[in-house]
Amino acid sequence: MARNASLSGFPELLPQERIVEQHVIDSLRTTFELHGFGSIETRAVETIEQLLRKGEIDKEVYAVSRLQAEEGAGDASLALHFDLTVPFSRYVVENAGYLTFPFKRYQIQKAWRGERPQEGRAREFTQADFDVVGDGALPFLHDVEIVLLAVDALSALPIPEFKIRVNNRKLAEGFYRGLGLEDTAGVLRNIDKLEKIGAEAVARLLREELAASELQAQAALELAQIRSADLSFVDQVSALAERHNVQNELFDEGLAELSSVLRAAITRAPGTVIADLSIARGLDYYTGTVIETVLVGHEALGSICSGGRYDALARKGNRVFPGVGLSIGVSRLVARMLSQNLATASRAVPTVVYVALNADQDWAAAQDVAAVLRSRGIATEVAVSAEKFGKQIKFADRRGIPFVWFLGEDGNSQVKDIRSGEQLAADPHSWQPAEAELRAQVTRNSPAS
């Protein structure tokens, strides 16, 4: 980032940085739509009751109230949403009669969370979510579809290599029950801390908080240490289950589902998707496939794309709307791209052409030229004073504008590429820059050797 924000946790971008962020957003939008996902937007505020009904996050929520609210107005019960999943579940319930299921949605919006700011974690940030929601049931193949869409969406971005780490909560919960550990949510919450606090600390928590035996704790940790980019994990998991005499239908179902995800990924994105049995996702509403994604070489940044299957997050009476989806941390990604110079915008402005003035009275004629260029999709600015051509060219160069247009008598204009110095005769009705010049280009930078 170019400078520190004056209000901690609420970053602002310079124009060239904003171009990088917009490129990421535009690329994601294009990929989502190519896969048939439609765009929605939900309101920024929800009721506090709605936000807090899943998970213990009350300290992270920003409450909303009016400075001069009337007594009893009820505004104190509102808060800014801290993610897009909870608002989306409400949206589905309230609009179920107008939606066609399975409903495929993507949503790129701001969210707010009052946690301690650090790189990759801001208090105001942008997320890009994509989900498939069913009415009553949702075929498992949508889990596979979501993973493959994540591969396509992230592969289109100017970012380093990434790994999508996949597990299945059914597999894990069934294994724990087979061991005799009934508080599966508690086990999962502790396993989710594995990378942060280490195996020994997790084992201690399992013994102290959940009354797990040494054998049960070690078996749970053994499962969490299995990972592979191929189907070899199936034999490893099966052997571990046999050794501990784990027999559970939920375990068998989860193992089959995870195998299906890996089988599809091996065919379409070999080496990118990894079965990682340590992935737990701490939120209780996940019921099947769970996913986290890391940038290779930037693992300390944390997950850049995470989520999974949720079968009961959205309900309307006896009607249940199961879903599966992921959230890409746009702000987290962009912050790392900028701080590590992983990607660069070719210029800080959209302008392609700067029309210079021979004299102040030429401004109207310059606007005519600009209007023709703009009608053809060429972003154009017009000088406001007839300074020396050298100063006008220097101004365009400082702005990052590649071409300067010089008006000529009887319409005989010329255009100069101020990077190469090449100057040619030009007609605004037919002159065309290279395709790559029409928009600021964002390119991935090679890592320093």
Query: Are the CB atoms for 194 and 224 separated by under 8 Å?
Result: yes
CA–CA gap between residue 211 and residue 138 (Å, rounded):
36
- Strands, DSSP E only, in 205-346? 227-228, 273-276, 289-295, 305-316, 319-329, 343-345
Identify which of 16, 259, 30, 278 has the alpha carbon closest to the alpha carbon of residue 155: 30
**Residue 84 annotated in ligand binding:** yes
Identify which of 184, 141, 176, 119 has the alpha carbon closest to the alpha carbon of residue 329: 119
3-state secondary structure of 428: coil
CA–CA gap between residue 182 and residue 171 (Å, rounded):
14
**Residue 285 annotated in ligand binding:** yes
**Residue 85 annotated in ligand binding:** yes
Pairing of strands 273-276, 162-168: parallel
| Residues in the chain, total | 449
All residues at 6 or more sequence positions from 170 whose CB lies less than 8 Å from its CB, including other chains: 250, 251, 253, 254, 257, 287, 288
CA–CA gap between residue 27 and residue 432 (Å, rounded):
25
**Residue 272 annotated in ligand binding:** no
Q: Which amino acid is it at 23? A: H
**Residue 281 annotated in ligand binding:** yes
Pairing of strands 103-112, 38-39: parallel
Identify which of 4, 84, 2, 96 has the alpha carbon closest to the alpha carbon of residue 46: 84
CA–CA gap between residue 424 and residue 9 (Å, rounded):
49
Q: Which residues are annotated as a binding site for L-histidine?
A: 83-85, 113, 127, 131, 281, 285-286
Q: Which residues are annotated as a binding site?
A: 83-85, 113, 127, 131, 281, 285-286
